[in-house]
Amino acid sequence: MRIAIVSDTHLGYERFREDAFIQAKEALEQAQSVSDMIIMPGDIFDYRHPKPDVIAEAIIIFGGLSKKEFPSKVTSFEGKSPLYTDKPIILIPGTHERRSDTAVDPTDLLSLAGLVVNVSMGKAVVEKNGEKVAVFGVGGVAEERFKDTLTQLAFKPVDGAFNILMFHQSLYELLPFSKDFMHIEELPEGFDLYVDGHIHNKVELKCHGKPFLVPGSTVLTQLKDGEQEQKGFFVFDTEKKSYAFHPISSRRFVVVKVDVSGEEPNRVSEKIEECIKAAVASGSKAEKPLIRVELKGKMKEGFKASDLDVNRIASAHQEAIVEVARNNVEELASGKDVEDLQSGMLENLSIRDYGMGIFLEKLRANGYSLKVSPSRLFEILSSDGKKDAAVSKAIEELFS
């Protein structure tokens, strides 16, 4: 059987909302045309509470997809919610959709509408001409709960089936940042394929001698070096035990690094302009590329980063979207966090995850021992609502 793996579509992502919708639609339609089934390891939406128009966009995509003919169908299902379709479009919620265990998340809405199969904390068996593929899913949970969650679920691979473990988590080999992150080899054995979301560039590794795949996101979000590669999805062939990456049309992203050491602001501006022109010329003109200029080094004595008019530089280009990051121009404060950032150890870590990691370490250092999960506390305090309401809710959960 051919299994398409499409991840992190981030529908509703505000900066490139149209990109997210168009590229997700293209990826899923292409995936359906070249595969027997589709699995999606989380972050289908960009928010836990997507706006009605974003949900409508998702219904358009998945509604059209569910009307297409698949060579296979879901024949067995175990999960926290009922099964409303046998179409093999199988997904889990990610960290962006994560809510409390009893709350309905936006992926549940797609499942209730009969458009997808949500296998979070459950499994689905898909069959085609007697061949079986079993997909076990773990929706995005707090990192410190992931190992315990796997233990509690105690998934047992299905005899005679090709078994997939699908989840949406940080792993230490991908993000060597926190001791809360599991190692790849700590994942349970016995599966034929391990599929993870969360990371926005594609990853190809091994786990217990079996393929471990991360397809990456279908839309630009984190703007890290790894996202310069073309977006797309994997298709795994269970008969050949091989897989291939299928690129989709996506906005080009270019990271340009400019050394400003010993230079005056005027010369730095000239070097930036030269790099931007070269980046624009290197690709198609069909769509504006996103060019991120990263400045490194220390300018000539007597000058500082604020002497650069980066806003003028960025706004002067109509043929591209230009960002100039000047964080590394001047000397930064010392400390392990900064050293990690400078060394690139946190390449794939989002600002939100980085903030959560610092929050957890601070709680540990201060002897935090209350029953409320530290990650749950972080989720409450970093919610999109009013801060006084968030603090009140946190206090209520901590001391009720």
What does the CA dihedral 327, 333, 335, 337 come to, rounded to 10 degrees?
A: -20
Judged against a pLDDT cut of 80, whether residue 375 lies above it is answered with no
Delimit the CATH 3.60.21.10 region(s) of the chain: 2-247
CA distance 225 to 239: 34
CA distance 223 to 255: 9
CA distance 127 to 114: 19
Judged against a pLDDT cut of 60, whether residue 302 lies above it is answered with yes
Which amino acid, one-letter code, is at 15?
R
* Predicted pLDDT of residue 26: 97
* Predicted pLDDT of residue 387: 58
Looking up tokens 């589709």 gives 38
Higher pLDDT, 367 or 207: 207
Region 144-153 average pLDDT: 92
Q: By percentage, how much of the chain surpasses pLDDT 70? A: 82
**Pick from 68-72, 258-262, 339-343: least confident:** 339-343
Region 112-122 average pLDDT: 95
Which amino acid, one-letter code, is at 290?
L
Judged against a pLDDT cut of 80, whether residue 369 lies above it is answered with no
Contact indicator for 205, 173 with CB cutoff of 8 Å: yes
Angle between helical axes of 387-399 and 374-381 (0-180°, round to 10): 160
Q: Could you tell me the fold of the domain covering 2-247?
A: Purple Acid Phosphatase; chain A, domain 2 (3.60.21)
Categorize the per-residue pLDDT at 341 as very low, low, confident or very high, splitting at 50, 70 and 90.
Answer: very low
Region 23-44 average pLDDT: 97
Contact indicator for 159, 152 with CB cutoff of 8 Å: no
Pair of tokens at residue 126: 């898909």
Pair of tokens at residue 254: 């270019």
* Predicted pLDDT of residue 284: 72
pTM listed for this prediction? 0.80
